[in-house]
A and B are shown apart, each in its own frame.
Chain A
Amino acid sequence: MEKFVKLVDTAIPLSTENIDTDQIIPARFLKATDKKGFGDNVFRDWRFHKDGTVNQDFVLNDERFKGSILVAGDNFGCGSSREHAAWALVGYGFKVIVSSFFADIFKGNALNNGLLPVQVSEEYLKSLLNLIQTNPKTRVTIDLENQFISSEIGKAAFEIDPYKKLCMINGYDDIDFLISKKEKITAFEAENY
């Protein structure tokens, strides 16, 4: 996993609410057996028309908007537990998703893949979406170490599980940690089973 401490970048505004994992990566793309390549199909049915032509109206196809920060409407990532959604977003190049609410499993999956979910208030989200829409060159700062997001509209703190924060900053994951606890786990098994 890549380390994440601080990021300053432009952002892409996607104000739709309740974006579910089927929209992030439609089920028909889940047949791959490795993690690569999902980025090509992120938001597939929004980015492309059915005949395969590019949907110019969709924000990811809008030349004005670029960046590794996705600012999305409320309740992002609801739906299935498929981690493919996180891989697709990471594969496309996103490092941060900002929203006023994240679905549980999605949040966990994102963090496990070095994608930082930043939860802000509904008001902050609204103003941020506005700001980016009016000025696509807006730079947004995500400071994980000090747990805040800042832009022209001001600064807002965000929460993150301290353990997950440590993992993100150091670029290590749960598997490394769990394996280091092998002895305790074996002792638990011996005692309880």
Chain B
Amino acid sequence: MRKTLFDKVWDAHVVDTIENGPQILYIDKHLIHEVTSPQAFAELEERNIPIARPDKIVATADHNTPTINQHLPIKDELSRKQLEQLTANCEKNNITLYGLGHENNGIVHVIAPELGITQPGMTMVCGDSHTSTHGAFGTIAFGIGTSQVAQVFASQCLLLRKPKKMRVNVNGKLNKGVLPKDVILYIISKLGTNSGTGYFCEYAGNVFEEMSMEGRMTVCNMSIEMGARGGMIAPDETTFEYVNGKEFAPKGDDFDEKVAYWKTLVTDNDAVFDKEYSFDAIDIKPMLTYGTNPGMGINVTENIPSENSESFEKSLNYMNFKKGESLIDKQINYVFIGSCTNSRIEDFRVAANYIQGKQKAQNVNAWLVPGSQKVAKQIQEEGLQTIFESAGFELREPGCSACLAMNDDKIPEGEYCVSTSNRNFEGRQGQGARTILASPLMAAATAVEGKIIDITKNLN
């Protein structure tokens, strides 16, 4: 039978198949962070089971970390304890940790690709749903629960049933001002938040082929928001070029050998998917969400739809929006550019490019939070920092920050935040906070105007 990209990578990692049951899947890389690992370490310790392959685990501190004064002791006691626990667990078990202040520190899904830890054809897991990000490399990468973190600790394997396969094709030429974030928000708005449940999704078509690795990561990152376990894009020259020379990437002949294998990781011509969708790039415009799940998205020129259901009304009520109204001209007091969806250098370049020569609106608090120390350094080296600071933006230190508001970066109750993150759930960015998901360009424009504008008009 003809195989898809997903089949090829999956099948290469199956250790054994249990009759009538799941398969044992071998895991190449296991990423961990402070929030979802402590209980797994504790479980193994209680049961007296050693960690099977500490050399295949990489740890970072990101969720709880402050984004100002990272050199000072963490004030929040619980956060500090969780981070101390991570350090102790890693030391005890010989696990590489890029802790706070380390030059490789940052959001787990930002650092692994930029260090060359993420490579095509791998299986990767992390106790974090946005592990799907790494699928941009043609990697099977997905989020797992803490029990599964413990399973991988104990055996470097997981017991899983092979998910079904879907493909989303987007072809054509993207409109001006439409970024990868808009493409994925558009797809989710069309397909809904559980269209991908039970599936692994491959993104295909010239739109993805022409995207940078960073753009592909933005897309794959949000696969989980349509319910899919993960997303994948076939590795190509763009991928190989990105991986080449990265700290942990294979070198020399080893690299060439790998590339020869990676080139085979494409879906065969007549391979069959369980379901398939196709979209036309021309239909995609800059997107915004108006509700409390990422599927509730419209393009900036559209009005909020009218739907009569309890959940829909509850959602609009939370957002304090009305059916049928436009989001244009809504006053916005908070803007967040960051999170594993959009905190890579390209995102900040896009923002800086728009902001250059302009000023942040008076009413806006604009937070820029790089995804990693490396990105932070690049921002400085490329002179973007000066642009941001002279425009009145607040550039912070790396971490998850206001994406989930586990640290002090919270959006106050009732306030709107135009955010480049991936989730607009109730309270996600702080109790009572109202999140509007958008691209870094829309976010930058909102910060400059102090309200939502139709960016397409400015670009033409």
Contacts and interface: CB of A to CB of B under 8 A. Distances in A.
Interface string B8-24: 00001001101011101
Nearest to B403: A27
A86 to B, nearest CB: 7
Interface stretch (A59-67, A98-106, A140-148): A98-106
Nearest to A1: B147
Contacts of A23: 425-427
A173 B147 contact: yes
Nearest to B37: A33
A23 to B, nearest CB: 7
Q: How large is the interface on A (under 10, 10 to 19, 20 to 34, 35 or more residues)?
A: 35 or more
B359 interface: no
B151 A82 contact: no
B93 interface: no
A150 interface: no
Contacts of A173: 147
Contact of A181 (B155, B404, B425): B155
Nearest to B295: A18
Contacts of B426: 22-23, 45
A80 B339 CA distance: 14
Contact of B21 (A27, A113, A161, A175): A161
Contacts of B85: 33
Contacts of B158: 174
A94 B450 CA distance: 46
A178 interface: yes
A108 B145 contact: yes
Contact of A179 (B26, B155, B227): B155
B143 to A, nearest CB: 4
B227 A103 contact: yes
A23 B293 CA distance: 12
Given A80-B129, A103-B227, A27 B148 contact: no
B431 A81 contact: no
Given A33-B81, A82-B36, A174-B151, A188 B22 contact: no
Nearest to A35: B39
Given A112-B147, A179-B49, A20 B425 contact: yes
B159 A163 contact: yes
Contacts of A22: 423, 425-428
A179 B52 CA distance: 10
Q: Which of A22, A109, A175, A189: most chain B Cβ within 10 A?
A: A175
Interface in A136-189: 161-163, 173-175, 177-179, 181-182, 184-185, 188-189
A111 to B, nearest CB: 9
B338 to A, nearest CB: 16
B406 A18 contact: no
Which of B21, B42, B129, B145 has the most chain A CB atoms closer than 10 A to its own CB?
Answer: B145
Interface in A80-119: 80-84, 86, 101, 103-105, 108-109, 112-113
15 contacts: A18-B193, A22-B426, A31-B64, A33-B42, A33-B81, A81-B143, A104-B197, A105-B143, A109-B146, A161-B21, A161-B161, A163-B22, A175-B47, A175-B155, A189-B156
Pick the 7 closest A-B CB pairs, nearest first: A163-B21, A31-B78, A112-B147, A83-B145, A33-B38, A81-B143, A109-B145
